[in-house]
Structure 1
Amino acid sequence: MTDWEIYCIKYADRGGRIRGDSFVFDDNHDAPHAMDYFMWLLRRGDEVILVDTGYDDAEAQARGRPVRLDPVAALEPFDIAPEDVTRIIVTHLHYDHAGGLHLFPNATLHLQAAEMAYATGPCMCHGPLNMPYTAAHICEAIKRLYAGKVVYHEGDAEIAEGVTVHCVGGHTRGLQCVRVRTQVGWMVLASDASHFYENVFARKPFPIVVDLQDMLDGFDTLRRLASAPELIIPGHDPLVCSYFPEAMARHISRLDVGPCRAVEM
């Protein structure tokens, strides 16, 4: 089979952050540290798999975190209608990764069973743990479940030939990364297993964490799954857009061709 194309789609960004918001152990914790927000599209011929959905304008207003493009508008350069998306890999159910599920009514969701259990379980009694979740997004996932449109995975699983998911946990109980075969080798969409390159390469944990050991072990998993370290794609790092070439529109970078300059580690 042929390899997959991978597109990184930036739909929002956020300034006003500091390094202490991104790293548990950092000597320069009060320095500015911006964050980008991505969703990803896998494409091979007529096959399309969406990885995460971003969040919409309503969620943006509720959280005071504006989006530059809502998920549907972000996909317009691909000429993909929302109803044409039939497979979504949900890396986890945080608002910025699952906030657009309702926009893709025909999609079957691929989700770790541990993530649904976590998002609906006793951990959500604690404010710091439920803060990144939105109840309506969880309800949408449950509605999809009762409509027969959720496929649960436990650990490693194949979604399609050349596309696998791997539960790493840490940031949430059921966080999964996505391994994709490309022309440059096996690429790993880390999602929030590593928000920034610095998390995985300097082994600095991200502050939102339910299990620190799982997060640290997850850094090793990312390295093991990728054909080369530069093929690990963090979930929120603005550097991604500078390392990989623009494609079709300013908010889209093409990943499967490999970085266009050396990735600093």
Structure 2
Amino acid sequence: MPMDYFVWVVRSDRRTVVVDTGFGRAEGIRRGRTLLAPVEAGLAALGVAPAAVDDVVLTHLHYDHAGGLALFPHARFHLQEQELQFAVGVHMTDSSRGSAYVADEVAEVVRLVHAGRVRFPGADDELFPGLSLHAVGGHTGGTQVVRVTTARGPLVLASDAAHFSANIEQRRVFAVTHEPERLLEAYATRLPGLVDDPADIIPGHDPLVLARHPAAGAGLEGHIARLSGVPLVVDAPVLSCVGENDTG
């Protein structure tokens, strides 16, 4: 199936939070991925300066979600402790689990921990009013999803807990999965319990995301979508996505 790669901006009148950091051109080339839209370009299109971002949520540490840490020199990173343990533990000796990680990027996260720039949230953790983090695991040892309250209701950025809407609808997990049974449980109860409408579970790699939601602005069609669909209410974030499109 074709895959898109997303970085998310959660923005209100009080703060801007970035969810995941994508991957760079060099790593894309190494893995046979064509980077059509660099993260920094997408952020610039939304008026977001990476150096001004204070908080970045890492849903997990795979190369396509944690490959741009250096773009955010002043940010605090929010990561499940279990994910970091998974990324440096025995499971990395299994290529089916470890191949999606980049050792230098994992090592950089460790350096950020020692620099006091990583926060480890709880399993259900309110980061800010209207934005909470929820550990689901399954895809990796410590995958987390992000629940965002918008003016039209709650959305869940599922990241790789669901690559495609079809994973949830058909109860079929993606091939790269650490604990399939845990993901199936998430599809049945955990993820639907976080939203009012299952359609508001936003998959992490589905090209349908860009087809189902309006562009964030003129000239951004097929590149950056707005998920909230309506204007802001008090401290309720508006979301846009920065798509790193890959047709491979």
Higher relative contact order (CA 8 A, sep 6+): 2
**CA offsets, 1:10-62, max 9 Å, x none?**
xxxxxxxxxxxxxxxxxxxxxxx111111110000141000001111121122
Moved more, 63-72 or 160-169: 63-72
Choose from 25, 30, 45 the match for 2:13. Answer: 45
1: CA distance between counterparts of 2:191 and 2:125? 15
Question: Is 2:192 the counterpart of 1:223?
Answer: yes
Q: Scaled by the length of structure 2, what TM-score is found?
A: 0.89
2:147 counterpart SS class: strand
Q: Does 1:74 align with 2:11?
A: no
3-state SS, counterpart of residue 120 of structure 2? strand
Task: Supply the distance in 2 between the matched residues of 1:205 and 1:80 (Cα, whole angstroms).
Answer: 34
What residue number does 2:215 align with? 246
Equivalent residue runs for 1:152-231 within 5 Å: 152-219=120-187, 220-231=189-200
Is residue 148 of structure 1 aligned with residue 120 of structure 2? no
State the aligned residue count: 226
Q: Percent identity?
A: 42
Structure 1 gaps, min length 5: 1-32, 259-265
Following the alignment from structure 2 to structure 1, what is the Cα–Cα distance between the partners of residues 13 and 46?
Answer: 13
CA distance in 1, matches of 2:95, 2:168: 27
Partner of 2:64: helix, strand, or coil? helix
**Structure 2 counterpart of 1:104:** 72
Given the alignment of the two structures, is residue 123 of structure 1 paired with residue 122 of structure 2, yes or no?
A: no
Shift of 1:154: 3.1
Asked if the contact 1:51–1:91 (Cα under 8 Å) also holds between the matched residues in 2, the reply is yes
Secondary structure of the residue that 2:36 maps to in structure 1?
Answer: coil
Structure 2 gap segments, 5+ residues each: 231-248
Note if 1:233 corresponds to 2:202.
yes
Q: Deviations over 1:80-105 (max 9, x none)?
A: 22211110010000000001112111
Supply the distance in 2 between the matched residues of 1:94 and 1:154 (Cα, whole angstroms): 20
1:87 aligns with 2:55: yes
Partner amino acid, structure 1, of 2:227 = L
AA aligned opposite 1:239:
L
Write the distance in 1 (CA, Å) between the matches of 2:24 and 2:149: 30
Question: Counterparts of 2:50 and 2:178 in 1: how far apart (Å)?
Answer: 33
CA distance in 1, matches of 2:119, 2:157: 20
Q: CA RMSD in A?
A: 1.1
Match of 1:255 among 212, 224, 227: 227
Residue 79 (structure 1) shift? 1.8
* The 10-residue stretch of structure 1 (72-81 or 187-196) with the greater mean CA deviation from structure 2: 72-81
Q: Is the 8 A contact 1:123 1:129 kept in 2?
A: yes
Alpha-carbon separation, structure 1, partners of 2:43 and 2:212:
21
Aligned-partner Cα distance in 2 for 1:198–1:167: 21
The equivalent of 1:63 in structure 2 is 31
